[in-house]
């Protein structure tokens, strides 16, 4: 069996070196004679691995000590609801910025627990760019300001976070975390589903300012309280041990690439190559996003004739290019270029795209 070039939006490609190491260690991890999935999460071997994974993540993002790092369960969608449970008192309001499907969903899932106020939105413009956010548009009494750093469906990405003034800034970074250097101290909370740039689905990594852990929030079960998870080193109950292990391997892989500055440079090369192929196709391919808001991680594009879509997908799959169908909400195609997608994959894609134009233009 030969591997394909995987452009899936998530669960997504993992670094081949990480998969190979996990394969080699599957039956005997670190000389224990058992898989990491078969060991107690409270045993010394796993506890040491978990601590090392956290240390590597802190090193990558230069996370200050006054932030806790949590390895949680569920997907980011669960935390759309869990965040207001923890950070907003009953009857409080929170500001949300809408830039696409996932920020809409974040606001919707929060609505039962907090009075959602839309501070800015690009919905009327079809989510083709970033809305203007200034301090005057924010409610100074809001519990926090929430935004989605990268919209996987609409292909929108914030290069810099929106201003939040005195409000804690909450960022869903599921699809662009670890793709570039980041100033963690600009945020109150950063959270991310693992299945894009960290590891397998079912794991959520959260970086939260410790003072926010002291908020009373709302009456909820102990298992849902971030403060309790932090006090228990994310082991209030049995964690996703396999996901945590693979995340640790991925953090080491990123460090081996030269860290986040090197990863960002490669992501710029990959995305620039694909955007150039789209923009220079003479209108055969089109990307609907404002140039300044274009995502490096998720690149949607359409063909000039939608009747060619099925042929494009059929022939690209035959060429070993996997998961290029766009989301049903926007149609067309989408190529997700997460950290583990190599430059060679993008080169193969743009070569195919040029050949498809030659045959069908």
Question: What amino acid positions are annotated as catalytic residues?
Answer: 102, 172, 196
Report the C-alpha gap between 65 and 74 in whole angstroms: 25
Give Cα 117 distance to the centre of its chain: 24
Contact 7, 335 (CB under 8 A): yes
- Return phi, psi of residue 143, to 5°: -70, -30
With the CA atoms of 99, 102, 103 and 108 taken in that order, what torsion angle do they form, in degrees rounded to the nearest 10? 140
The answer to whether 300 touches 326, Cβ cutoff 8 Å, is yes
Tracing tokens 């627990």 back to the chain, one arrives at: 113
Cα–Cα distances (Å) from 110 to 12, 71, 116, 199, 276, in that order, read 27, 21, 7, 26, 39
d(CA 249, CA 242): 11
* Assigned token pair, 79: 């935390």
Q: Are strands 150-151 and 156-157 parallel, antiparallel or unpaired?
A: antiparallel
């Amino acid at each position: 069996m030969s591997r394909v070039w995987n452009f899936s939006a998530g669960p997504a490609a993992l670094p081949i070196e990480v998969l190979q190491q996990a394969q080699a260690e599957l039956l005997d991890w670190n000389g224990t004679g058992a898989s990491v999935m078969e060991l107690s999460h409270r045993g010394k071997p796993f506890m040491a691995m978990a601590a090392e994974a956290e240390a590597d993540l802190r090193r990558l993002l230069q996370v200050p000590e006054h932030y806790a790092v949590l390895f949680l369960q569920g997907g980011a969608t669960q935390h759309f609801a869990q965040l207001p449970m923890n950070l907003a008192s009953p009857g409080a309001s929170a500001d949300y910025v809408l830039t696409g499907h996932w920020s809409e969903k974040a606001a919707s899932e929060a609505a039962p627990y907090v009075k959602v106020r839309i501070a800015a939105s690009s919905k009327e413009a079809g989510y083709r760019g970033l809305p203007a956010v200034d301090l005057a548009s924010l409610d100074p009494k809001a519990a926090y300001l929430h935004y989605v750093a990268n919209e996987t469906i609409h292909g929108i990405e914030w290069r810099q976070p929106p201003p939040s003034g005195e409000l804690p800034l909450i960022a869903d970074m599921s699809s662009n975390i670890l793709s570039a250097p980041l100033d963690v101290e600009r945020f109150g909370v950063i959270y991310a589903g693992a299945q894009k740039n960290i590891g397998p689905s079912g794991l959520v990594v959260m970086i939260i300012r410790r003072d926010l852990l002291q908020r009373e929030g709302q009456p909820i079960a102990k298992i849902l309280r971030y403060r309790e998870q932090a006090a228990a080193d994310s082991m209030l109950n049995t964690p996703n041990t396999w996901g945590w292990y693979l995340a640790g391997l991925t953090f080491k892989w990123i460090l081996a690439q030269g860290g986040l500055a090197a990863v960002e440079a490669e992501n710029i090369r990959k995305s620039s190559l694909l955007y150039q192929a789209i923009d220079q196709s003479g209108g055969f391919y089109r990307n609907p996003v404002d140039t300044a808001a274009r995502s490096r991680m998720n690149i949607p594009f359409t063909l000039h004739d939608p009747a060619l879509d099925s042929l494009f997908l059929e022939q690209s799959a035959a060429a070993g290019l996997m998961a290029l169908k766009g989301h049903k909400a926007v149609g067309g195609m989408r190529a997700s270029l997460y950290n583990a997608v190599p430059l060679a994959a993008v080169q193969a894609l743009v070569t195919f795209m040029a050949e498809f134009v030659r045959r069908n233009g």
